[in-house]
Structure 1
Amino acid sequence: MSSGTASRFLKIVPNSRAPTSFRLPDPPSRPAQRRNLSCKAVRAPEYEVEEKKTYMDEQFWLERPAGPRTGFDRKVLDKAESAPPAELEDMNHFAMEVFDSQLIADFYVKVLGFNQVNRPRFPFDGAWLRGAGVFIHLILADPTVPRKSDNWKDLYDVDEPEPWYIRRAHHHAFAVKDMEAMEKRLKHFEIEYAKYIVPDTTAAQIFLYDPEGNGIELGSEYAQVAKSLEEKGLYNP
């Protein structure tokens, strides 16, 4: 990031606060639980609030613990029992940083059958996709974010990474109704993939890369995998 770009960020505003619309009200059905917690248990650490703007003039609020930045301390997880409740409802979307949003959108739409839907008028490029019961938000990589390389293949010490590498790495998994038809589809688009069978089942797994190296798993008979684990007393839904 150039010095001119960096100078556009606002300075710390000690007494600034994020808009109240960013903060969810306490659930009305839990006042008794809140009262039963001691003041010490619910007291949050001191936080610094920084009101800032990106180089694209987007306003945001950075909130972080006061004091020097030391990274995540796993000891804070010991406070889980006294933490306010977490009430996640479902998975709304997952996001992927991409360098060619139209190419990746076309891949997921034309190869995997997603639909592209409208998105808010963000000041940066991207695409929203819907399919398989989830949304994918493609976000154009920010050119001001310092990174060692823009080429995903630089993660590997080979010229052409093989798709089986992602079996034990980051990937997104989608259930497929007809694996044989999906394999024919992948071959139609001349896509390389690796195929596995889940141990003790006939459930198949396919692993592949999209054009920018995002890992994808396509699987069948996930219910059979769950049943196999249940029969062994290992299933805990």
Structure 2
Amino acid sequence: MAAAAAAGVHLNHIARETADVKRLASFYEEILGFERIETPKFGDFEVIWLKLPPFALHLIERDPRSKLPESPYSAPQPVGDIDPKAISRGHHLSFGVSNYEYFVKTLKEKGINTFEKTQPDGKTKQVFFFDPDGNGLEVGSWGAP
């Protein structure tokens, strides 16, 4: 096996383009506990940087001229009409929590459509759902690394 071209690789940030930066930032702050961090000014479009150590999430106002899809699940129907079961094999970000049952209860109380499954080991539980822009999310009972 050949050596990788890069050394010391680590995840720095994930960027999400959105039509509503404030709405998406509020979701990630409220649901997953991200914190806003200092964000440089990039010009005539809005950007909010969030941090959940060890990485950051950069929310960037969507360029109306962009030909890229908004998210892998962008569709004419509202996110609430898309079955989150499809996320388990599709594009998604994944997080682990130490309070899995409480977390899932909170999602349901907020009216967020979810799909849950338990791995064959009978211990690992996962919940799949969408953020307000239709980006797939997974949260598992893995706890802290």
- TM-score class, shorter-chain normalisation, is 0.7 to 0.9
Higher relative contact order (CA 8 A, sep 6+): 2
Give the Cα separation in 2 of the matches to 1:126 and 1:199. 41
Q: Greater share of helix residues, 1 or 2?
A: 1
Residue matched to 2:107: 186
Once the 2 structures are TM-superposed, how far is the Cα of residue 148 of structure 1 from its aligned partner?
A: 7.0
Residue matched to 1:74: none
Corresponding residue pairs, total: 141
Matched residue type, 2:6: A
1:175-214 correspondence to structure 2 within 5 Å = 175-214=96-135
Give the Cα separation in 2 of the matches to 1:214 and 1:112. 14
Matched residue type, 1:103: R
Once the 2 structures are TM-superposed, how far is the Cα of residue 84 of structure 1 from its aligned partner?
A: 7.8
For each residue in 1:124-146, what CA deviation from the matched residue of structure 2 results, as whole angstroms up to 9, or x when unmatched? 21211112532101111111223
Residue matched to 1:230: none
Give the Cα separation in 2 of the matches to 1:143 and 1:84. 37
Residue matched to 1:153: 75
Matched residue type, 1:153: A
Give unpaired runs (5+ residues) of structure 2: none
TM-aligned CA distance change 1:146 to 1:196, over 3 Å: same
Residue 59 of structure 2 is aligned to residue 138 of structure 1: yes
Once the 2 structures are TM-superposed, how far is the Cα of residue 181 of structure 1 from its aligned partner?
A: 1.0
Q: Percent identity?
A: 35
Alignment RMSD: 2.7
Residue 45 of structure 2 is aligned to residue 115 of structure 1: no
TM-aligned CA distance change 1:84 to 1:194, over 3 Å: closer
Moved over 4 A (4+): 147-151
1:1-237 correspondence to structure 2 within 5 Å = 81=2, 85-123=5-43, 124-131=45-52, 133-146=54-67, 152-154=74-76, 160-221=81-142
Say whether the 8 Å CA contact 1:166–1:207 is kept in structure 2: yes
For each residue in 1:30-84, what CA deviation from the matched residue of structure 2 results, as whole angstroms up to 9, or x when unmatched? xxxxxxxxxxxxxxxxxxxxxxxxxxxxxxxxxxxxxxxxxxxxxxxxxx94x88
Matched residue type, 1:168: R
Give the Cα separation in 1 of the matches to 2:104 and 2:128. 11
Give the Cα separation in 2 of the matches to 1:84 and 1:219. 30
Give the Cα separation in 2 of the matches to 1:182 and 1:202. 16
Once the 2 structures are TM-superposed, how far is the Cα of residue 169 of structure 1 from its aligned partner?
A: 0.5
Matched residue type, 2:48: A
Once the 2 structures are TM-superposed, how far is the Cα of residue 186 of structure 1 from its aligned partner?
A: 0.9
